[in-house]
């Protein structure tokens, strides 16, 4: 069994304070027994800051990556956190996946499907990719925000063997967003029989107001933990894939989809 934490992060803070806020949350989560923490989309830089994100983007081994790696080793907790990635001349919305036992060897997931003109004006899409990393005894896949709204993306990770799909997100506030946070995330977990950890921003930054409602959903569709609409929050769940064998037996979607040639 692995305890995970989702860090819902208020956007109403100075961008320069963000890395320290994430490290502080890692320390608190580790103290509560968590061994993996997921932070939001572009958590290290902030999301709604416009074209400056292209200028501030870093390589995975830049100052942000090194700081989180040091914190992971020091506090004994692995971490997944969003950042603007510089990859040559390209810029991506990416997530650092850092294992506390291998802090100098992060895995990188790049957002496959960008949402709207705002993101497309700054970043390049990566297209569908399957990124899995063994973290704290779990096979962890990663998607970012809009990616999880396509069931095909979660299904692809489930077929590849994911136990948990971590989703850093920056979901803007509104009626459609509330539906996504409250219902779509549960459906994704249920239809692919995986855990889904959804880490949103909250409150308002220079460009957007965010929905909050970060959550951790189980393979049987239950919400194991949920944050409120506003403010920082750390929520926790104990992840034990074997405990949901009955749910997978009653809802053998992957097995039957393969049998019918759907996947």
**Is the distance from CB of 66 to CB of 83 less than 8 angstroms?**
no
**87, 201, 233, 252 from 9: Cα distances, Å:** 26, 5, 7, 35
Is 145 in the active site? yes
* Cα 221 to Cα 58: distance, rounded to the nearest angstrom: 37
Please report, for the chain, how many H helices and E strands are present, in that order: 9, 14
pTM of the shown model: 0.97
Residue 111 annotated to the active site: yes
Q: Point out the catalytic residue in the list 85, 111, 142, 209.
A: 111
Q: Is 51 exposed, middle or buried (0-12, 13-18, 19+ CB in 10 A)?
A: exposed
List per-residue pLDDT tens for the chain, 263 residues long.
Answer: 999 999 999 999 999 999 999 999 999 999 999 999 999 999 999 999 999 999 999 999 999 999 999 999 999 999 999 999 999 999 999 999 999 999 999 999 999 999 999 999 999 999 999 999 999 999 999 999 999 999 999 999 999 999 999 999 999 999 999 999 999 999 999 999 999 999 999 999 999 999 999 999 999 999 999 999 999 999 999 999 999 888 988 989 888 888 998 88
pLDDT at 262: 84
Q: Pick the closest to residue 58 from 24, 93, 25, 11 (CA basis).
A: 93
Q: Is the dihedral of CA 87, 159, 149, 244 positive or negative?
A: negative
Please say if 206 is a catalytic residue.
no
Q: Which of 113, 119, 142, 145 is catalytic?
A: 145
Q: Is 250 helix (H, G, I), strand (E, B) or coil?
A: helix
């Amino acid at each position: 069994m692995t305890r995970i934490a989702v860090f819902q992060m208020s956007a109403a803070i100075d961008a320069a304070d963000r890395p320290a806020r994430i490290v502080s949350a890692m320390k608190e989560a580790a103290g509560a027994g968590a061994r993996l923490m997921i932070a939001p989309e572009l958590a290290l830089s902030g999301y709604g800051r416009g074209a400056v994100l292209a200028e501030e983007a870093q390589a995975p081994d830049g100052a942000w990556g090194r700081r989180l790696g040091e914190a992971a080793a020091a506090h004994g907790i692995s971490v997944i956190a969003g950042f603007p990635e510089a990859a040559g001349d390209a810029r991506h919305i990416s997530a650092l996946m850092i294992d506390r036992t291998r802090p100098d060897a992060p895995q990188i997931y790049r957002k496959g499907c960008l949402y709207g003109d705002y993101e497309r004006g700054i970043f390049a899409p990566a297209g569908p990719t399957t990124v899995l990393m063994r973290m704290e005894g779990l096979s962890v896949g990663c998607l970012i925000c809009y990616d999880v709204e396509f069931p095909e993306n979660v299904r692809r990770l489930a077929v590849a063997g994911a136990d948990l799909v971590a989703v850093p997100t920056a979901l803007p506030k509104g009626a459609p967003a509330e539906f996504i946070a409250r219902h779509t995330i549960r459906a994704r977990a249920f239809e692919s029989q995986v855990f889904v950890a959804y880490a949103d921003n909250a409150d308002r930054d220079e460009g957007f107001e965010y929905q909050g409602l970060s959550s951790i959903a189980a393979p049987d569709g239950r919400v194991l933990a949920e944050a409120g609409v506003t403010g920082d929050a750390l929520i926790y769940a104990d992840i034990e894939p074997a405990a949901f064998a009955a749910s997978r037996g009653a809802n053998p979607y992957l097995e039957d989809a393969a049998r019918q040639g759907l996947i």
